[in-house]
Structure 1
Amino acid sequence: MTETDESKRVADRYLKREVLGEGTYGVVYKAIDTKTGQTVAIKKIRLGKQKEGVNFTALREIKLLKELKDPNIIELTDAFPLKGKLHLAFEFMETDLEAVIRDRNIFLSHIKSYFQMTLKGLAFCHRKWVLHRDMKPNNLLIGPNGQLKLADFGLARVFGSPDRRFTHQVFARWYRAPELLFGAKQYTSAVDVWAVACVFTELFLRRPFLQGTSDIDQLGKIFAAFGTPTSSQWPDMIYLPDYVEYQYVPAPPLHSLFPMASGDALDLL
C-alpha cells in the first residue's frame, strides 16, 4: 500500500481530537475510530534517521504488544506509517496511576486492587519472557472502569538467553534496582519486581519513596532505607562494573517507614 493510499485510509478511519501528551519520540493524541466507534489514543512517533534506531524501538514495541495479549496489558489496535511518522493506535485509557496518586482529593481505597492488577500484568510479561524495564506510575494506565494496564513497552526486551547482556540505563532512576545502579549488564525479571515494589510504596506515601539525585545518591537512599547489603547477602556485588563501597548502616524497621501499611502489606513489600 502506498503512503497516499495509507493517508486516505487513516484520514477516513480516525477523527483526530485533542493532544494528550508529548514524549521523547513524539505526540500522543486522542481520536475516534470511525470503524468501531471507539475512542483510541494514537502515539505519533518521529522516526528520524535510520541510524538513530528509533525505528527499531517502535517496531520492537509493536512486535511485543502483538504477542502480549492480557487484560492487564494495554492493547495495540493498529499501526500505520503516515507522512514519515509511525502511528500506533491504543485503546484509550482515562488516566494513569501517577495522576491518581498525586490527587489528594482521591482516597486510595483501591491500593490492593491496583497493585494486584499491576502484578498480574507483570507476571504475564515474565511468563512470556519479556522484561518491561520502565515500570513507574505514569506507565500504569487506568480505564473508565477502574481497570489498570501496563503500557509503554519501548524499553521492553525478551530475556532468558544465557549470558545475554543488556544496558543498565533503563527505568527512571527512582525505580532502578541496585544491581542496575552498580552497572550490571546481566539481570533478570527481578529488576521489574524492584520497580513495582517502589510503585507499591508510592501508593502508601502518595509520593516517590526513593528520590535520588544521582546514581550514587540513589544507592545511598536505598541502603539507608533497607540496610547496606553485606558480602554474605550479595557475594557478587563487588564484581559489578560500577561498584563502590558504602558505609554499613543497619536497616530500620520497615513499619517505621510505612506506618500506614498493614502487616500483610509489609510482608508483601
Structure 2
Amino acid sequence: MQASTTGKSKGRYEKVRHLGEGQFANVYLAKDTETNELVAIKKIKLGSRDDIRDGINRTALREIKLLQELNHPNIICLRDVFGQQKNIQLVMDFMETDLEVVIKDKDIVFMLSHIKNIMLQLLLGMEYLHQNWVLHRDLKPNNLLVNSKGRVKITDFGLARVYGSPNRRYTSQVITLWYRPPELLYGAHNYSGSIDTWSIGCILAELLLRNAIFPGASEIDQLCKIYDILGTPTKETWPLSELLPGFINPDFKPPMDLAAIFSVASPDLLELIKGLFLFDPIERWGCSKSLQSAYFKSQPFACPDREVPLPRKVTDPTYKQTRRVRNEGNLSSRRVLNFDM
C-alpha cells in the first residue's frame, strides 16, 4: 500500500488510546474511519533546530523513505504519512504484541513447530530486505511485532540503510549490544547482510532458551559472552579478523557443545544455529541459504500462523490485567484523544 503524504489524512483517524512513549515518539491506537480498521499512529517529535529546518529528523526521514518502497507481508506497512508544525505522524499496521513479550510470557509453551513458523516469517521478511539491498541493523525480539493472527512483522527501520557500494563505509555503532555480531564489536565499517543474520541467530537462540544467549554488559563483555559459548575464532574460522580496527587477539577458549545448550534441537536445527553463528561474515549463512536448509524441510514443519502462541491478553478479549507498556509508561483509559496533543 502506497503511503499518502497529504494533510487531508488528519481527519481520517480517530485516536482511541495512548499505547506508549519513547525518547523520540508517542504511539497511539487509532481507528481508520474510512475502513473501520485499527491502526497504530507513531507521532515523531522533531528534534533540533537543524532538524526542524530540514522539516523532519534524519532517522524519521530514513524510515519513511524505506517503508514507502517496501512491500512484504512480514514487514510493517506504512499506510499513511502526514505532518504538523512540530511533529510528523506515521500510520502503520496495528500489531497487538511483540516477540519479546511473547518470549517472556511464562504461560506460553513453545513447540518446535511454533519456533519454526516464527523463524520462517522472520527469514522471509529479511530475505526480501536483503534482496532489495536494505540492512535493518537493529533486529531484536521487540522489533518483531506479532498480531492476533500470528503474523510476524519486522519494524523500526530508524537504523536501516541501503547497502551494496563496495567503497561505502558505515558506522559500527548499530544493532543492540546483545544482538551485535563480532565484526561490529571490533569496529568494522564495511559490512553486508551478514550482520543481520547474526542477530537472527541470536533471536533463534532466545526462542529456544527463553533468555538472551549473549547478554553482555559492555562491548568487551559481549565478546567474552560470545567466546564463552562459541570459543575463540582462529585464522581458519575468521581469516580477516586481524584487519579490523579494534581487533584484539583473545585468549583461547574452546567452544561449548551446542547440542548440550540446545537440548531439544535436532541436528538440522543445530546446523542452522552454527551457520548463523559463523565468525567469518563472508561464510555466515544468509537468509536464502537458511531458508533452503534441511531444517525447514524436516518435521515438525512450521505450524500455521494462527497457531503461534500469544499472550492471553491478546487471544482472550475478556482477560483483564493491569500492565505497564515496556519502558513507555502506562496505558490510558479508552477514549478519543485530541489529535494535536
State the TM-score bracket (shorter-chain normalisation): over 0.9
Give the count of matched residue pairs: 263
Q: 1:56 aligns with which of 51, 58, 72?
A: 58
The residue type paired with residue 33 of structure 1 is D
2:44 alignment counterpart: 45
2:187 alignment counterpart: 183
1:21-55 Cα shifts (integer Å, max 9, x gaps): 22231111111111211111111111112535861
Evaluate the alpha carbon distance shift between residue 238 and residue 252 of structure 1 in structure 2; reply closer, same or farther with a 3 A threshold. Answer: same
The residue type paired with residue 181 of structure 1 is L
How many Å separate the matches in 1 of 2:22 and 2:196? 22
2:67 alignment counterpart: 65
How many Å separate the matches in 2 of 1:239 and 1:264? 33
How many Å separate the matches in 2 of 1:146 and 1:125? 21
Task: List alignment gaps of at least 5 residues for structure 1.
Answer: none
1:36 alignment counterpart: 35
Alignment of structure 1 residues 59-208 onto 2, 5 Å:
59-109=61-111, 110-208=114-212
2:224 alignment counterpart: 220
Higher relative contact order (CA 8 A, sep 6+): 2
- Structure 1 residue 9 displacement after superposition: 4.6
Task: List alignment gaps of at least 5 residues for structure 2.
Answer: 1-5, 274-341
How many Å separate the matches in 2 of 1:192 and 1:102? 22
The residue type paired with residue 234 of structure 1 is W
How many Å separate the matches in 2 of 1:47 and 1:268? 42
Identical pairs, percent:
49
How many Å separate the matches in 1 of 2:166 and 2:9? 44
How many Å separate the matches in 1 of 2:71 and 2:175? 23
The residue type paired with residue 30 of structure 2 is A
Please give the TM-score of this superposition, normalised by the length of structure 1: 0.94
- Structure 1 residue 244 displacement after superposition: 1.5
CA-based RMSD: 1.5
Moved over 6 A (4+): none
Please give the TM-score of this superposition, normalised by the length of structure 2: 0.75
- Structure 1 residue 263 displacement after superposition: 1.9
- Structure 1 residue 185 displacement after superposition: 0.7
